[in-house]
Structure 1
Amino acid sequence: MQNQELTIQKLNDKIEGLKKYFKEFNFGESRKQDEVKKLNELQNKLYNEEYKIGIVANMSAGKSTFINALFGTDILPTFNQATTDCATYVYSTGEKKSIIYKDNEKIELEEKELEEIKKYALKDSSEELKGSENDKYKNVTKIDLYYPFKYIQNSKQDDLNVIFIDTPGPNNTGIEKEKHEWITYSVINDVDMLFVIFDFGQLDANLTEGLWNSIKERIEKSREFKVYFLINKIDMALTDNFPKGENEKLVKENWFKKEKEAVKTLEEAILKHKIEKNKIEIFPVSSEYQLLQRGKHFNKRDKRVLLALEEDIEEIFPDKNSEEILLDYLGFEKLEKSINEFINNMAKKNLLDGIDSKINNIVAEEQKFLYGKKQTLEGNKKKEISKLERVSNLLEKEAKELEKNLKEDISEEIKKSKQEIKNLIDSRIEKDFRNKREEIIFRIMYYPFLYGSLFDFDKTKKIIEGYSVSDLKDFFEKDILEKSSYSREIKKHLTDEEKEKLSKEVSNYTYEKINECKYCYLGISSDIKEFYHNFDKRVTKLFFKYKDKLEEYIDDILEIKKENININVDISSVRDIEFTIPKSQVDYKFEDAKYESAFVWYKPWTFFYGDIKVGDEKKYITINPKDNYSNIDKTLETFIENFYNPEINQHNKIIENHANSVKDLYQSFRHKKDNEIELSKRALNNQEENLKLVKKEIENFNKIIEEK
């Protein structure tokens, strides 16, 4: 096929041309059906490949407004509070509609009903959903929204199927907190691209250490994973950009000054977390003004707000195009250009190259079949029949011996791969659970004592989170974890109510730290993907080892001339068997619409049961480090025990099924060759006529591949 820039349309034309050829094919109905099936699968992949973009932000960072600005209209509700209880998946389609998943039912909203999605997207605990009449909007587990994209992959004919996934956000409080965190971490480990939206006014309050670590791990382990940090609400800096009483020169000098400082702050945070600067792109954006600029239906206030900014820009830059400066300031056009270029140059290119390679493999196999048949029909009938009989004998004997050897190699590969996946899971459990025990115990032991000085739970937690484990260890004696009792004086006497509140806060903090272990473990998905990539390469290589050997035997017997055959098979793309990488058995379960965690505690909420004591005369707190450490250890081990075997077993099953599919693939190939030999034998009965037919097939085939 001619060298040319690959597009979805061009590859589809190639596939359609080959399908037409095979549907008119004259040599074997079974072969025809097999090849058309392969081409249909490639065509389906070509048009249905999904590219997922996750969106993460804390409350009030303007996430919903950002999404609305991307679409140029209000498609999601916007409030200064957490608005979503579940992930919302936004698909690009011409037809506007939404599908709501709740209570094992599916509710479809047509375009005229889309306003109602704003209620389904609200938190169950929100004020707007109080009252029994609003119960129908609760317990939503997923929202699918279908809406045409205007600026991201919007050519329709030659773009990937981009899906935006709007997460609830990781910093909510109350009963939804754990559920929202779980959804957010799960999305981060599943998407191809991630938007992290920061609030310009609260840059220091956006990402937890757990989120930083998850993002860092995905960047390090996935070359194709792309991250954008978006500083939203930069219009908050406009007051600083236009200081009153300043002359025009100073105003120009101040233009975008605060925004650049915000970018520098994030760059320093990226370096602090030891992430390469070029791995994350930072874009300052103004979602509110961009939505106004793109909106079709303005009210008078909106017009005045946007007009005021446009007039300010014209006044500062009278000799420049004010519209260009405005669009540059709002940031969306630059962001969207970067997104489209990355998707086209990375994800789409990889998809198209892979499909093109598989098409070329089909072409190479067909060339070999046609020219081999032509050579047979051009030869001496008696001699050719003798060769074909020898091949039939080979397929009955030596080919089965090769199959036996392949099975032995596959069994060995299964054994090695099972051990490899077990080692991988064991190492992650050690890293993300067992190695965190000391960190957890020292943080929660220090909590009540620090609170006894500050008497402020938020400050206590923030300060503790800023300490390293070694810092916290310095606060205690070296053998502290062996002690059954440890006391420290505090500044004031605690009432019974304060003691109860402190005990609950310590338990909540403990629960939170143990959950962080679970979220960190989700990062195993990158390791798992890499394992399966390498595993698939190994079993595919085994298939080709024995397939090529069998073909070599057959070609030697038939004395196949290969000068007319353009065979350049890409082993990495030839496998026809797709498999789904399983998700971790560490999961979040929802019960009775209360979203209670299924997390197993060794002694629920009792890490400090009876351990926090306040004397009647002296003001002090006493804890039991030994018991607390033991309880944390048992809690972690119980949790690990609950998911470990299902985790291992699901991977063992996938390994066995996928590796064994290679044996089936080889057997199918042997049967295919057997059928081809029988067809060739029959063709020799009418040698002259079939030779004309195969020459015509070659002519038709060559025309198709030259045209495409």
Structure 2
Amino acid sequence: MISEALKPNVQDLQKDVIDLLEQISSLMHRASTALSSDGTGNKYEEFKQEVDEEAKKVKNLELRMAIVAPMKAGKSTIINAIIGQDILPSRITAMTTLPTEIVFKAELTEPILTLSPEIFSVFQETFLALQSKIQALGIEGTRQKIAHYPHLVKLAEEIRDTVEPPSRTKIFGREEIIKILTKLNDIIRLCSEIVPLQNSLSQLMNVPRIEVPFCRSQNTSHNEKLGNLVIVDTPGPNEAGENLRLTAVVEEQLRKSSIVLIVLDFTQLKTKAAEEVKKEVQKVIQLRGKENLYVLVNKVDQRTEGDMTPEQVRQFVAAELGIGDSGNKNRVFEIAARWAFCATNFLLELQQYPDQDIEQMITAPALAQQALGARWETKLKKVSAEDLQDEAEYLWEESGFAPFLDQAIDALMESAAPRCMKSALHLSRSRLENLKDYIGIRSRAIAQDAEKLQNEVDLLEADLHRLELCHDQLKQVNTIKTQLHQELNTILNDLKKKAKVSLETFLDQEEYHRADFINKRGIEARNITNWFFKQFRLQIEMKGSNLIEFETSREADEFAEKAVLYAKQRIDGLLDDIREKTQRRIETARKNLIVRLDSETKPIIEKARQRLKQAFDVELSLLPPHLETEDMEVAKPHIKSQCRYIDQGYEEREVEKRSFWHWLWIVPYKETERIKRPDKEVNYYTVSLEELVSQINCSTETSIDHINQGINKYLDVDFKQQVDIFFENLDGYLRNYRDSLKQAQADQKLLQTEKEKLVEELNSLVPDAIKKIKDANICIERVDSLLSGE
């Protein structure tokens, strides 16, 4: 993490920046008061409010820390230990499917779960889709589909029988929160098994947020900073992406977090599971990079003689995962989450109910079991609350959580604080420069000759007019737009050709290599089609190259769903590549446009600068386009129900007959005859591969057209709009000077005493503004120094 020398600097710099912002706010208030008589002070009152808002952001830094467990390693216990109470649901099988934010609020007495309107809407839509599917399958068909998750059967029955989906957006209390979170996670899991093509979950970007009180008794040097800590509980990338359709929301949460903690199980470090962990960690590294990754090795309380030492654990993590090597030894922490959880859980209950007897405390037995040894039940009857508090604080220290939390918060401060402070300082410096320029010109212009003053006003009016003409006559924007249209159309047309699927190549080697859910080991290209069918464990039959035959409707439906999912994965990969390529090309065009705009407008600005001896600058803030990343919709092919008659052949049967020639019909005789059996009627179901391929190609073209529409909207609206903003900013700077001179003309008409008083007030503001600009520049240099050391 950060060095010992840097640790106090982040804290000290934050304090210095807050002090400076408060001084700038005070200066803006003085300017607003001094200029209140003529109405120009309103602008500086608005500046004051902006600076106050930035100061609030620096004071209340949100420190985001994501926790990922590629293996079952006690992640929920770790988070519950930091919180001080058991609030996250946990079970033997994988529990976390939906990322969840946990925020600390000192004033709370009970936790609160909040579901945003977006989350509420998405889950209602998912609930209704599940209900429809479960009712169609029947509970027995549903049970077969979720055979690997028997605990979901009860939820499926509940969804089937529920008249209306749940409607609460705020949930209070630990028990209710656990119940709701368990249900939300199980709904996602159920959706992945029952309706894997349900798209609403993939569009989810917000996550549930739990606000919790935190335990003030923990002996942690950064305890006061817990109030700014946001913990994000996330599923592993593989868990989120394979079937759960949550890749986008997990990636977004990992990117938004300042640091990411990867949890490993000490008892499984050298097992077969370690290889899978290695793959999962690589996915996190691809998303977030190594710089902000840290490793928690949990369950070290189970270490026995002969197990890896702490140093060997660090070496193992460095060698296997590439994290915490010799240059970053403080990236790996050994912890005992169960110890920490028992300690904080007890301390929080003691904090909330200080007068409660030991025998009434719910958390006392669990703490005693961990802290008092084999005879804990007997000892618990003899100890006092103070004794148990000492044991809890000792157990907390021994758990390894104290140094982990201290250093994690230091790392978060180092990462989050500089960026937040730099943004606040840049805005405040800009407002100070506006104040200095306006006041400086106005105070000097009051004493100028009226004719000379009017001449300067006229020259600025002419500059503004030239700027307007430059804007109107600027042809580069249209040229760049035309070139971009042509280049991007070529890219999209190439994509259409590449993405198009033919009947012959639907299951060829290229698609096979692209499909994530296919296990490639031991599969030869020539056997792809047969292997693909075997994956569904279906008794199917190809009828030529077009129709695929199934014995049951359920088998046909399952094949259609998985075939569509397979196609979506292939196309989604191509669409992601093209979005990235398109955005890179537009970014290049954006930079070229900045150069051209600068060359067109610089002479006008330079003239005004030289004439007024005031330097100012403005940058084009042209943001890259947001291209839609919504899931491609592919309709399932129609499943046709048909029947046929199968020839059952003949059978031999003895029949009794009578004949005149045989005892004059008196005595019967037996004769064997061949009798045709009735034809057997058999139902069967077919999926048209030709229809499926056609729908895939149609959906692909629709998705590409959506990207094209997004590009066109950006070029026709946003691109031009940002150019307009560029000129408005330049225009605003020149108008600021012109208005200052015009106000000076009005000031010249004041009485001499009023004029002298005004000039004195204005002159007192300028030196303070200049000093604060210098102070801001010094703070920005200090921030840059911290950022460059990352």
Do both share a fold (TM > 0.5)?
yes
Structure 1 residue 207: deviation in Å?
A: 6.9
Alignment of 1:169-248 (within 5 A): 169-172=236-239, 177-200=243-266, 201=268, 202-206=273-277, 212-213=282-283, 215-216=285-286, 218-219=288-289, 227-235=292-300, 239=302, 241-243=303-305
In structure 2, the residue matched to 1:352 is 421
CA contact (8 A) 2:265 2:298 kept: yes
In structure 2, the residue matched to 1:100 is 115
Q: Deviations over 1:125-158 (max 9, x none)?
A: 849999xxxxxxxx9984222235679996769x
Q: Distance in 2 between matches of 1:553 and 1:120?
A: 66
CA contact (8 A) 1:84 1:167 kept: yes
Indicate whether 1:674 and 2:717 are aligned: no
* Unpaired stretches in structure 2, ≥5 consecutive residues: 1-11, 122-166, 191-200, 350-362, 377-390, 541-549, 641-686, 776-790
Alignment of 1:68-217 (within 5 A): 68-84=80-96, 86-96=98-108, 97-101=112-116, 103-104=120-121, 107-110=169-172, 113-124=173-184, 126=186, 142-147=207-212, 162-172=229-239, 177-200=243-266, 201=268, 202-206=273-277, 212-213=282-283, 215-216=285-286
CA contact (8 A) 2:99 2:208 kept: yes
Whichever residue aligns with residue 599 of structure 1, its letter is E
Structure 1 residue 636: deviation in Å?
A: 7.2
Alignment of 1:304-315 (within 5 A): 304-306=369-371
Label 1:494 to 1:162 Cα distance change in 2 as closer, same or farther (>3 A): closer
Q: Distance in 2 between matches of 1:551 and 1:28?
A: 31
Label 1:362 to 1:516 Cα distance change in 2 as closer, same or farther (>3 A): same
Label 1:502 to 1:338 Cα distance change in 2 as closer, same or farther (>3 A): farther
Alignment of 1:678-689 (within 5 A): 678-686=742-750, 688-689=752-753
In structure 2, the residue matched to 1:316 is none
Whichever residue aligns with residue 640 of structure 1, its letter is S
Structure 1 residue 681: deviation in Å?
A: 0.9
CA contact (8 A) 1:53 1:191 kept: yes
In structure 1, the residue matched to 2:44 is 35
Q: Structure 2 length normalisation: TM-score?
A: 0.59
Q: Percent identity?
A: 14
Indicate whether 1:294 and 2:359 are aligned: no
Q: Deviations over 1:517-538 (max 9, x none)?
A: 6379669999899889888887
Task: Report the 3-state secondary structure (helix = DSSP H, G, I; strand = E; otherwise coil) of the residue aligned with 1:230.
Answer: strand
Among 333, 339, 362, the alignment partner of 2:431 is 362
Q: Distance in 2 between matches of 1:41 and 1:115?
A: 42
Structure 1 residue 699: deviation in Å?
A: 1.9
In structure 2, the residue matched to 1:136 is none
Q: Structure 1 length normalisation: TM-score?
A: 0.65
In structure 2, the residue matched to 1:318 is none
Task: Report the 3-state secondary structure (helix = DSSP H, G, I; strand = E; otherwise coil) of the residue aligned with 1:695.
Answer: helix
Alignment of 1:267-306 (within 5 A): 267=321, 281-295=331-345, 296=347, 297=349, 298-306=363-371
Q: Distance in 2 between matches of 1:525 and 1:447?
A: 18
In structure 1, the residue matched to 2:670 is none
CA contact (8 A) 1:94 1:148 kept: yes
Indicate whether 1:648 and 2:711 are aligned: yes
Label 1:259 to 1:528 Cα distance change in 2 as closer, same or farther (>3 A): farther
Whichever residue aligns with residue 78 of structure 1, its letter is S
Q: Distance in 1 between matches of 2:459 and 2:337?
A: 70
CA contact (8 A) 2:340 2:401 kept: yes
Which stretch shows the higher mean deviation, 281-290 or 70-79? 281-290
Structure 1 residue 121: deviation in Å?
A: 0.8
In structure 1, the residue matched to 2:21 is 12
Task: Report the 3-state secondary structure (helix = DSSP H, G, I; strand = E; otherwise coil) of the residue aligned with 2:52.
Answer: helix
Whichever residue aligns with residue 66 of structure 1, its letter is I
Alignment of 1:453-472 (within 5 A): 464=520
Label 1:398 to 1:582 Cα distance change in 2 as closer, same or farther (>3 A): closer
CA contact (8 A) 2:618 2:730 kept: no
CA contact (8 A) 2:21 2:52 kept: yes
Label 1:649 to 1:669 Cα distance change in 2 as closer, same or farther (>3 A): same
Structure 1 residue 267: deviation in Å?
A: 2.0
Alignment of 1:531-610 (within 5 A): 552-554=606-608, 584-587=627-630, 599-600=633-634, 603=637
Q: Distance in 2 between matches of 1:643 and 1:531?
A: 18
Q: Distance in 1 between matches of 2:407 and 2:32?
A: 43
CA contact (8 A) 2:237 2:250 kept: yes
Q: Distance in 1 between matches of 2:500 and 2:372?
A: 55
Whichever residue aligns with residue 103 of structure 2, its letter is Y
* Unpaired stretches in structure 1, ≥5 consecutive residues: 131-138, 220-224, 244-250, 312-321, 449-459, 589-597, 607-623
Q: Distance in 2 between matches of 1:584 and 1:60?
A: 36
Task: Report the 3-state secondary structure (helix = DSSP H, G, I; strand = E; otherwise coil) of the residue aligned with 1:166.
Answer: strand
Q: Distance in 2 between matches of 1:446 and 1:552?
A: 59
Which stretch shows the higher mean deviation, 523-532 or 88-97? 523-532
Q: Distance in 1 between matches of 2:180 and 2:482?
A: 44
Which stretch shows the higher mean deviation, 669-678 or 531-540? 531-540
Which stretch shows the higher mean deviation, 93-102 or 698-707? 698-707
Structure 1 or 2, whichever has the larger Rg, is 2
Q: Deviations over 1:234-279 (max 9, x none)?
A: 43xx55x424xxxxxxx6x8533773465146426x79xxx99979
Label 1:489 to 1:418 Cα distance change in 2 as closer, same or farther (>3 A): closer
| Number of aligned positions between the proteins | 596
Q: Distance in 2 between matches of 1:257 and 1:445?
A: 43
Q: Deviations over 1:50-83 (max 9, x none)?
A: 5544443457443322222232333322223344
Q: Deviations over 1:625-679 (max 9, x none)?
A: x979967973773463353234324544433333322222233334333322211
Q: Distance in 2 between matches of 1:519 and 1:304?
A: 52
CA contact (8 A) 2:294 2:331 kept: yes
Structure 1 residue 99: deviation in Å?
A: 1.8
